[in-house]
């Protein structure tokens, strides 16, 4: 239930089965259980009919939703990275984020051939997925580099400004892809962008790799947009 993509039939089935099992545990009398199960089944059928005939969710919109979710998860990774500069890492939160990210990624890869029949379009979106996967891997490694060492105010400031610039560029990419942008991002004017920290070669290397992949992603999407116009 927790690893299924929200909005899919599989997720709805798991949630319904879980609700049914909880119902049978909570109610003692057979008739009460039967009525509760009947109500739940009726509700599920009603929702399926409404979604199927009145408010259908297309596979194209589901793919776009999952793509939006991938970019949102990258912003969430950045928020967790920023928080880890001053607080302990929340491993459960990181684990949940990884499950959500990779589940959405796998769903897109599975659905993409069904919605993009043109080979060039599939190749374009697969390149986006491959680059974002590398970025997710790199930022996850940054978590553990940050965890193992205390940093001074200057190093934290460099990381905070690096994160803010990354947020901004990700938002620009989302805008070019016609995806919903993140809200409440800070102003980056008069901030200094730096992707290395003195005395920390491993972390600096990851920051540089991440920035290069972000740049590759920006150029890839920008070229596509310019070719369309």
Same domain, residue pair 20 and 121 = no
Same domain, residue pair 109 and 138 = yes
Q: pTM of the full predicted structure?
A: 0.75
- For 143-193, the pLDDT digits (tens) are 988 877 777 888 889 999 999 999 999 999 999 999 988 877 777 777 788
Domain that holds residue 192: 59-228
Rounded to 10 degrees, the C-alpha dihedral 73/77/82/88 comes to 130
The total number of structural domains that make up the chain: 2
Q: Is residue 3 part of a domain?
A: no
Same domain, residue pair 43 and 64 = no
- For 112-155, the pLDDT digits (tens) are 999 888 899 999 999 999 999 999 999 999 998 887 777 788 88
Confirm if 5 and 66 have CB atoms less than 8 A apart: yes
Same domain, residue pair 39 and 137 = no
Q: What is the DSSP string of 151-213?
A: --HHHHHHHHHHHHHHHHHHHHHHHHTT-PPPSSPPP-TTPPP----TT-HHHHHHHHHHHHH
Q: Is residue 100 part of a domain?
A: yes
Confidence band, pLDDT 50/70/90 cuts, at residue 25: low
Query: Which letter, b or e, does each residue of 66-81 get, where b requires 16 or more Cβ atoms within 10 Å of its Cβ?
Result: bbbbbbbbbbbbbebb
- For 48-84, the pLDDT digits (tens) are 776 666 666 678 888 999 999 999 999 999 999 999 8
Same domain, residue pair 82 and 146 = yes
């Amino acid at each position: 239930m927790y690893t299924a993509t929200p909005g899919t039939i599989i997720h709805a089935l798991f949630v319904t089965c879980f609700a049914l099992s909880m119902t049978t545990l909570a109610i003692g009398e057979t008739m009460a259980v039967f009525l509760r199960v009947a109500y739940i089944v009726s509700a599920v059928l009603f929702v399926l009919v409404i979604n199927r005939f009145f408010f259908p969710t297309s596979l194209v919109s589901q793919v776009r939703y999952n793509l939006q979710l991938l970019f949102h998860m990258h912003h969430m990774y950045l928020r967790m990275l920023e928080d880890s500069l001053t607080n302990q890492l929340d491993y459960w939160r990181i684990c949940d984020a990884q499950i959500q990210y990779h589940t959405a990624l796998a769903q897109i890869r599975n659905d993409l051939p069904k919605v993009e029949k043109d080979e060039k379009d599939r190749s374009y979106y697969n390149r986006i997925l491959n680059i974002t996967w590398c970025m997710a891997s790199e930022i996850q490694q940054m978590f553990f580099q940050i965890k193992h060492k205390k940093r001074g105010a200057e190093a934290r400031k460099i990381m905070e400004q690096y994160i803010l610039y990354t947020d901004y560029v990700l938002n620009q990419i989302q805008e070019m892809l016609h995806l919903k942008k993140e809200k409440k991002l800070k102003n980056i004017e008069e901030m200094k962008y730096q992707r290395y920290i003195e005395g920390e070669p491993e972390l600096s290397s990851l920051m540089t790799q991440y920035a290069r992949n972000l740049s590759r992603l920006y150029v890839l999407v920008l070229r596509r947009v310019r070719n369309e116009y």
